């Protein structure tokens, strides 16, 4: 491994938090859950949970007993817009749908903060340390908007 971005990295590499991605639980406005004022984890088990294949689910396993696995996020959005299920998806992916009303955030109780944090990792003893540090700086700059103001870090190999 030269450079990696992942949730979990081996202890043998230098890591630093890179970005956090907030997830929200959403469904179409016609879904029965969308009409409720409060939803427990047990309530979710009665409905189809739409999951994007190999997508991480913050907070552990999906809580629905009935699960549809979709291979692409666009397919999951189509199911959700038709009120065919609910899903935990990255907030930035569903922002447009939330703004135009084709999806709604479900009122899960107790309110849950589900966020995935991704770290940047690289080996400190790499012979291309200068190039790696330059690339890491570009990544940090590119995702700075995700984290807001942050402490400047100076990495060294």
**C-alpha distance across the termini of the chain, in Å:** 15
Question: Domain residue spans in the chain?
Answer: 3-19+116-147, 22-115
Helical H runs in 1-157? 41-44, 73-81, 91-100, 129-147
Decide: 58 and 115 in contact? Cβ < 8 Å: yes
- CATH code of the region 22-115: 3.40.190.10
Per-residue pLDDT 10s for the chain (157 aa) are 678 888 888 888 888 888 888 899 999 999 999 999 999 888 888 999 998 876 555 554 544 467 778 888 888 999 899 998 999 999 989 999 999 999 999 999 877 778 888 898 887 776 667 787 788 888 888 887 655 433 334 444 4
Task: Report residue 10 as tokens.
Answer: 């081996």
Task: Report the pLDDT value the prediction gives residue 137, as an integer from 0 to 100.
Answer: 84
C-alpha 6: how far from its chain's center? 12
Task: Report residue 113 as tokens.
Answer: 């903060």
3-state helix, strand, coil in the chain (%, to 5): 30, 30, 40
């Amino acid at each position: 491994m030269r450079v990696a971005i992942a949730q979990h990295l081996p202890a043998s590499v230098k890591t630093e938090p890179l970005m956090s991605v907030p997830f929200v639980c959403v469904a179409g406005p016609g879904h029965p859950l969308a009409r409720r004022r409060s939803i427990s984890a047990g309530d979710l088990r009665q409905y189809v949970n739409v999951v994007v294949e190999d997508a991480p689910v913050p907070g552990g396993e999906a809580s629905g007993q009935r699960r549809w696995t979709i291979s692409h996020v666009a397919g999951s959005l189509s199911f959700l817009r038709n009120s065919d299920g609910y899903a935990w998806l990255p907030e930035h992916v569903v922002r447009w749908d939330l703004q135009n009303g084709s999806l709604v955030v479900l009122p899960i109780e107790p309110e849950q903060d589900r966020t995935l944090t991704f770290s940047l990792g690289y080996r400190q003893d790499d012979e291309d340390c200068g190039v790696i540090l330059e690339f890491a700086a570009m990544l940090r700059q590119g995702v700075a908007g995700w984290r807001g103001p942050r402490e400047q870090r100076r990495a060294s190999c």
